[in-house]
Structures are given as C-alpha cells and as structure tokens.
Structure 1
C-alpha cells in the first residue's frame, strides 16, 4: 500500500508542478506559434501516457496485492489487450510526430519577401553581414580570412563591395520583416538560437545552413550558442535588437560596407604619432606605461583592440562606473579625439611600438594551471588573438592586470549592456575564486614571452561556398 500511495502522490505532485512551475516558455517574439503548439501537443500526449501508466501500475498493485487465499492466473498472451496497446501507442506517436512534420515543412519554405542576413560564428563571438542594394552576397572563403578581412570576403567579386558588415555581437532586425538567416562557421560547430524566436539551427564548418523567422516584437533579445563549442562556450552570446522600420533604417544607414572598410585599412601613422603626444605624458613615449600615474602599457596591443577600447571610452561603455576612477579619467581623455579617423590613426601608431618585458612577482608556478583557461583566447604565450577578440596580456604590468581582473569580478568593468566582450570576461574572471588566485595567474602572465615560435606546415582549407542566390 505504501508504494500505491507513493505513485498517487507522484502523479498529483507532477501535475501541480507542471501547471504552477515558474520555468516555462519565454514570451513569444516571432511568427512561430506553431512551435509552441507542437511542444504543447507533446506535453499532453506524454502527460496522458504518464498518468495512465502510473495509474494502472498503482491500480494493479492495489487490485492484485498479496492474498494467501488467492492464486495467480497464468496468461502468457492476450491478443485483445495487445491490439489495443498497439493502436493506442501508434495514435500517440502519430499525434506527437505529425504536427512536427507540418511545422518542418513550413520551416524549410522561406517566403519570397524574406530579407537575407548572414550570421557568422566563431569561438566565442558572432558577426553579421547584409547584402547591399543588389540583394546578393559576395563570395566568401575561409582562406581569405585575415585581421583586415575578418569575414573572408572575396574583394574581386563585384557583388561583395556593397555588402554591409556588422563586426560586433549585436545585430539589428526590422520588426515585421521576414528574415532568411544564412549561417556560417569559421571554426567549429556552433548553433544559433534566440529562445523568444523559437527557432535554432547549427552552424557547420565548410557548409552554409539556414533558417527563417519573422520578429514580431521590438526589443533586445539574447543570442545563444546551443552547441558545445569549446572552453568558453557558455560566454558565446550576442544581442538581437528588433527595431521598428524607421529606427531600423536609421541604424542600417550608419553601418559600413565592405568597400568602405577596405578604404579604411590604411591609417595615417604620422598623424597618429602627433595625436599620441598627449597620451605619452601618462603612458610614456614608448607606450611602456607608468605605475605612478596608473597608466597601463599600450605597446604591443593590436590596433583593432585599441580602437575598440577608445570607442568604448568615448561612448560611455567603459569608464562610466562610479568606482572606476582611472576609467573615468581615460574616458575624458578619449573624448579629445575628434572622430573615428583620429582613433584609427592613433591606434595604428601605438600598434607600431615595441613592447617591453614585464616584471614578474608572486607564485607563477601555481598560476600556470590557472592560466590554462585563459590561453584558449589569449594564447599560450599571452600574445593575444584577433580571431577570439582577445588582447595581448604579455608585457602588461602586474598591477594593471590585477586591477582589471578585480574590476571584472566586481562588475565595475564589462557590465554595460553593449560590452559583450566584457560580459564574457566577467564570467571567465569569476573562475578565479580568491585574491590569491588572481595574484598567481597574474604572476604567470607577467613572465610570458608574448610570442610563439611556429613551424610552417602545409595545411588544408575548407572553402565556404557563396550564398545561394534567390
């Protein structure tokens, strides 16, 4: 009887939890209500089976409980019961599978009016591309990917010159506009998923996959990678901003085309040197940094990282927190640069400065094991990695590294909603669970050489075919 009571309690408790649970669907923000309907049908079918099976089990335990005065009947076959079980099981399976087939049929048929958008995944960030006025993507290939051409677009393809490039983790879509999302991976398997849109699809290296949806609600939605893609998989997040038509067109007009980015590649280093004179008072003539002025070393950093940080300071993405005193000072200095051209020039000049060796302190031996997690992005020698959006760490002062890690852990840096790379660092920095762990990993980093000896070996490449033309 105790087991019978336990089964009845299990059934009742499960039903109560299902209908009162706080863990339910996120609010729907796309046209895919049919996805929810299909899941609900599955819940009803499996729920009824759960109730029926456990109720029958409780009944059988009660009805045929042990009785000294009763003998069991031996009945190895019961064709009538087996027939009903086969029919009921077949109907249940059909009820679960059939709606999904209808939904899948709609999922693979993209509306003709759908706008083409490309999402590119890499460890551990997103970038996006839109076709220009011709409505066609230019050809792209993995072997064409460089720091100057992160999308791997063929510059000789006339269809590529007007392609609109969005290098950050934030993409804007127009509310009510059907979207055909073309998916491409630079490295390993990823998966594009926005829970509110109810659709997801894998990104496969060397292939181009797709899915479609129509965003129906304006707002900001978190983009997730739902494929285990490496050490920092859980930090691979982005933002999909759905705008009303007028706001979307305003945003779109401000985005650069591929041809514009090609013209921006060459920055005036001489002009950048002149602009840097105001920076050298704190950061040093050679970009070596100055502990007395709380100024970190700049030499050795890539121009792409310096540009991003200067823009963050100007836009209030970095240096706005009340406890970031040094960041507030830097934000005021960054605003002295008149425009993005000045930022490119000064960043290009700083990138020509040669880094100097940092002084190591603390227990570097223990820090080596802790740094293993960091090396996936920043490199085994702390050299930084453009493809992972990770700056150089080697040659940086230990006091600055320590302060930045503490600021990330405390949310002083990286908490701004537009600092998606900073949010990744917040999550990673919290793996260092004590001040001692921070000291140890910093001690190891300050002893890193900042370069990796490589041996040239022949390699094979996977070519990503151009987008299917419609």
Structure 2
C-alpha cells in the first residue's frame, strides 16, 4: 500500500510541479514558433504516457500484493493485450512524429526571396560571408583556405569578388527578411545554434547544410556551438545582431569585400638619397 501511494504521489507531484512552475522559454526571435508548439505536444504525450505507466504500476502493486492463500497465475502470453499495446504505442509515436515532420518540411523549404548568408565554422570561431551588389555568393573550396583567404573563396569566380567577408566578428541581419543560412565547416564537426532563433544545424566538413528563418525582433543574440569540437568548444561563441533596415545598411556599408581583402598592398620604399 505504501509503495502504491508513493507512485501515485509521484504522478500528482509531477503534474502540480508543471502547473505551478511555468516553463521559462527564452524569448523567441524568429518565425519558428512551430518548434515550441512541437515540443509542447511531445511533452504532453510523453507526460500522459508517464502518468499512465506509473499509475498502472501503482494499481498492479496494490491489486496483486501478497495475500495469504492467494496463488499467482502464470500467464506468459496475452495476445489481446499485446495488440492493444502495439496499437496505442504506434498511435503515440505517430502523434509525436507528425508535427516534427511537418515543421521539418517547412524548415528546409526556403522562400524564393530569402537572402543567402554563409556561416563558416572552424576551431574555435565563427566567420560569415554575405553576397555583394550582385546578390550572389561566389564559389568556395576548403582547399583554397589560406591566411590571406580564410574562407576559401574562389578568386577566379567573378561572383565572389564583391562578397562581404566577416572573419571572427559579429553578424548583423535585417529584421523581417527571410535568411537562408548556408553552413560550412573547414576543419571538424560544428553546430550553429542560436537558441532564440529556434534553429540549429550540424556543420559537416566537405558538405554544405542549410536552414532558413526570418528574424522577427531586433536585439543581440548569442551564437553557440552545439557539437563537441575540441578543447575550445565551450568558448566557441559569437553574436548575431538583428537590426532595423537603416542600421543594417549602415553596418553593411562599413564591411570589407573579398576583392578588397585580396588586393595587393604596396609598401613604400625610401630613396637612398632621402634623409
């Protein structure tokens, strides 16, 4: 009886804790409220299963407790119960998968008017590349990465000359405009994650992954690496700032293009007759 009562109290206490202690979501700053809704659906389904299983355990402990003169009945199979458990489990799993698949379909279906922004991860910093006046990103290749060309941009591709290069600095984005994030790693596995955007994706060397979102509120948001990438993993952080259109253009005008970075620098030589 005591064990059964403890199990019932566990269920009641869990429900009361959820009701009296509200979830403190981080402020959402993108269009992906669908992800929060999916998490809530998953929570309620798993919470209902947890409550049902624990209450069933409490019932079994009490109903089939030891009593003098009562002999246990050995029943190794129950086809009816097995079919019911299989059906209920299948419905529960489908109920959890369906919202996630729906959101995933939207997550990778990029709007035609989305602006491309490349995110480059390396131990242990974030760099970015934005399209220039032509609106297109040039080609890139990890084999082209050098000290002078840290993002491996193809110098022979004319579309890459006006690309805006942001190395180990903050990224700015305009508010209310969809953005397609192209994710590339030049060394090991990384994961670009901004909690307030409800968006994250692995960055796999040798391939380009992507997702899209629309910033919906201005502010400063922290970038985290959500994939263990070495001893400096915990320090691989960055900043994404969502600006008004005016502030974004002012910031963009002050950035450096790939052509400017790769332009040869001239060093003045002093004439021998000069003092």
| TM score, norm. by length of structure 1 | 0.55
| Paired position in structure 2 for 1:218 | 218
Contact 1:169 1:237 in 2 (8 A): no
In the TM superposition, residue 74 of structure 1 has moved relative to its aligned partner by 3.1
In the TM superposition, residue 24 of structure 1 has moved relative to its aligned partner by 3.8
| Paired position in structure 1 for 2:41 | 41
Distance change (3 Å), C-alpha of 1:185 and 1:269: farther
What is the CA–CA distance in structure 2 between the aligned matches of 1:43 and 1:61, rounded to whole Å? 27
| Paired position in structure 1 for 2:273 | none
Q: Does 1:109 align with 2:101?
A: no
Q: Does 1:119 align with 2:119?
A: yes
Q: Does 1:71 align with 2:71?
A: yes
Contact 1:164 1:257 in 2 (8 A): yes
- For structure 1, the residue ranges without an aligned partner over 5 or more in a row are 272-470
Structure (1 or 2) with the greater strand fraction: 2
| Paired position in structure 1 for 2:55 | 55
| Paired position in structure 1 for 2:178 | 178
What is the CA–CA distance in structure 2 between the aligned matches of 1:177 and 1:194, rounded to whole Å? 17
SS at match of 1:239: strand
| Paired position in structure 1 for 2:201 | 201
| Paired position in structure 1 for 2:260 | 260
What is the CA–CA distance in structure 2 between the aligned matches of 1:14 and 1:267, rounded to whole Å? 70
Q: Does 1:251 align with 2:238?
A: no
Distance change (3 Å), C-alpha of 1:268 and 1:23: farther
For residues 95-134 of structure 1, the C-alpha deviation after alignment (integer angstroms, 9 at most, x for no partner) is 0011111111111110001010000000000010011122
In the TM superposition, residue 262 of structure 1 has moved relative to its aligned partner by 2.2
| Paired position in structure 2 for 1:95 | 95
In the TM superposition, residue 153 of structure 1 has moved relative to its aligned partner by 1.2
Instruction: Please list, as runs of the form range in 1=range in 2, the aligned pairs for 1:11-50 lying within 5 A after superposition.
Output: 11-21=11-21, 24-50=24-50
In the TM superposition, residue 21 of structure 1 has moved relative to its aligned partner by 4.5
Size of the alignment, in residue pairs?
270
What is the CA–CA distance in structure 2 between the aligned matches of 1:136 and 1:105, rounded to whole Å? 25
In the TM superposition, residue 16 of structure 1 has moved relative to its aligned partner by 3.3
Higher-RCO chain (CA-CA 8 Å, sequence separation at least 6): 2
What is the CA–CA distance in structure 1 between the aligned matches of 2:184 and 2:268, rounded to whole Å? 35
| Paired position in structure 2 for 1:234 | 234
In the TM superposition, residue 267 of structure 1 has moved relative to its aligned partner by 5.5
| TM score, norm. by length of structure 2 | 0.92
Contact 1:132 1:164 in 2 (8 A): yes
SS at match of 1:215: coil
